[in-house]
């Protein structure tokens, strides 16, 4: 337990010493890496609207909304 606390403390101190620009770059890199595994399309389950998106940008700024709710990731075709 003590080793885990010490490791977490070192990591927190490391983050504190980073510049805001460096942290922003690391977060951006994470968004880009995660986005590679996500579809680049969303759909509205209410009206059926389909929209192409940049998944990395959506991770940074939020997913589009339609019919007063957040659109769903991916599209599998019409629901029967």
Q: Taking residues 45-56, what's their average pLDDT?
A: 91
Cα–Cα dist 74/55, whole Å: 11
> How confident is the model at residue 3, as a pLDDT?
63
Domain tally for the chain? 1
- With respect to residue 79, please indicate whether it lies within any of the assigned structural domains: no
Q: Show the domain range for 50.
A: 2-73
If DSSP codes are grouped into helix, strand and coil, which group holds residue 80? coil
- With respect to residue 52, please indicate whether it lies within any of the assigned structural domains: yes
Q: Is the pTM of this model over 0.85?
A: no
In this model, does residue 53 exceed pLDDT 50?
yes
> How confident is the model at residue 21, as a pLDDT?
87
Confidence of residue 51 (pLDDT cuts 50, 70, 90): very high
If DSSP codes are grouped into helix, strand and coil, which group holds residue 46? coil
- With respect to residue 8, please indicate whether it lies within any of the assigned structural domains: yes
- Say what the alpha-carbon torsion angle 37, 43, 49, 50 is, to the nearest 10 degrees: 10
- With respect to residue 22, please indicate whether it lies within any of the assigned structural domains: yes
pLDDT digits (tens, 9 = 90+) for 21-34: 888 888 889 888 98
């Amino acid at each position: 337990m003590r080793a885990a606390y010490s490791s977490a403390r070192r990591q927190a101190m490391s983050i504190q010493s980073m510049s805001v620009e460096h942290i922003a770059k690391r977060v951006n890199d994470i968004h880009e890496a995660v986005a590679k595994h996500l579809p680049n399309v969303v759909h509205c389950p209410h009206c059926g609207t389909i929209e192409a998106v940049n998944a990395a940008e959506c991770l940074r700024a939020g997913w589009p909304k339609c019919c007063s709710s957040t659109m769903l990731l991916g599209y599998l075709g019409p629901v029967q």
